[in-house]
Amino acid sequence: MPSNPSKGWMNIMTNRSNIPITRRRVASEKADAIRAAVSGATAITTENASSRVATVEDAAAFHEFLSDPQIHAPIYTLPRPLTVETVRDFIADHQGQREHGTGLLFLNFDEQGAIGGYSDIAVWPEWAAGELGGAVHPDRQGKRRGVEGARLSFDWMFQFLGLDLICETASLDNHRTAHLLDGLGFRRMGEIISQRADGTTRPSLVWEVSRAEWERDADGS
């Protein structure tokens, strides 16, 4: 673990400091309820067979999963360089976020018990907002698995965490994610500069969807 977990936690959150675009402060009671839900979460609903919170003991297996360039290259929140030690610190940072009620890191497992994907959630309790990041193994992409997995996870964020807004980002050339978010009813909010953990930057598109919009689309109205 890092010698100062809270410092690492703040470094990760800095990477997402310019989102969400929409910021409506909620009552302190609602913010506290969201923090409690985050701290108490143990699994997320995805298209995978099972899910659980990542621990530092998962570092080697998680690093092996992330080592595929198809997985790690588009994701700006992952540590650079990508080593077992930096992945271990990444997990430890998220453990600190979970304690503060501001973030979660889940490993999602396939039917054989192998890592089939991961979910990295940032939460801003004061705005009742969150962002879902992560990846699925290339072998599990296609056949609408990504769409259905994302839909299940967004449902979980609204229902279990009690969020009012979900904000998403993607690089300008990430057409798969853009198509997915457009298809799920997210609104394009413009472009920002995203900062990676090593200080380098990239332009990103931003999408948002409110709880009311999500529930209306789910009802088909």
Local confidence band at 2 (pLDDT 50, 70, 90 cut-offs) = very low
Q: What's the pLDDT at 12?
A: 34
Q: What is the pLDDT of residues 159-202, one digit of tens each?
A: 999 999 999 999 999 998 999 999 999 999 999 998 877 788 88
Q: What's the pLDDT at 6?
A: 31
Chain CA centroid to CA 60, Å: 20
Q: What's the pLDDT at 4?
A: 33
CB 90 within 8 A of CB 75: no
180, containing H or E segment: helix 175-183
Of the two residues 13 and 140, the one the predictor is more confident about is 140
Q: Distances from the Cα of 129 to the Cαs of 73, 103, 126, in angstroms?
A: 26, 11, 8
With a cut of 50, say whether residue 55 has pLDDT above it: yes
Q: What is the pLDDT of residues 90-106, one digit of tens each?
A: 999 999 999 999 999 99
With a cut of 60, say whether residue 9 has pLDDT above it: no
Local confidence band at 157 (pLDDT 50, 70, 90 cut-offs) = very high
With a cut of 50, say whether residue 213 has pLDDT above it: yes
Q: How many whole angstroms separate alpha carbon 69 and alpha carbon 62?
A: 14
The residue written with tokens 């990239």 in the block is 202
CATH superfamily, domain 5-164, is Gcn5-related N-acetyltransferase (GNAT) (3.40.630.30)
Q: Distances from the Cα of 172 to the Cαs of 4, 97, 122, 191, in angstroms?
A: 34, 28, 21, 9
Of the two residues 45 and 186, the one the predictor is more confident about is 186
Of the two residues 33 and 200, the one the predictor is more confident about is 33
Local confidence band at 3 (pLDDT 50, 70, 90 cut-offs) = very low
Local confidence band at 221 (pLDDT 50, 70, 90 cut-offs) = low
Q: What is the mean pLDDT of the chain?
A: 88
User: Side chain identity at 21, as an amino acid letter?
Assistant: I
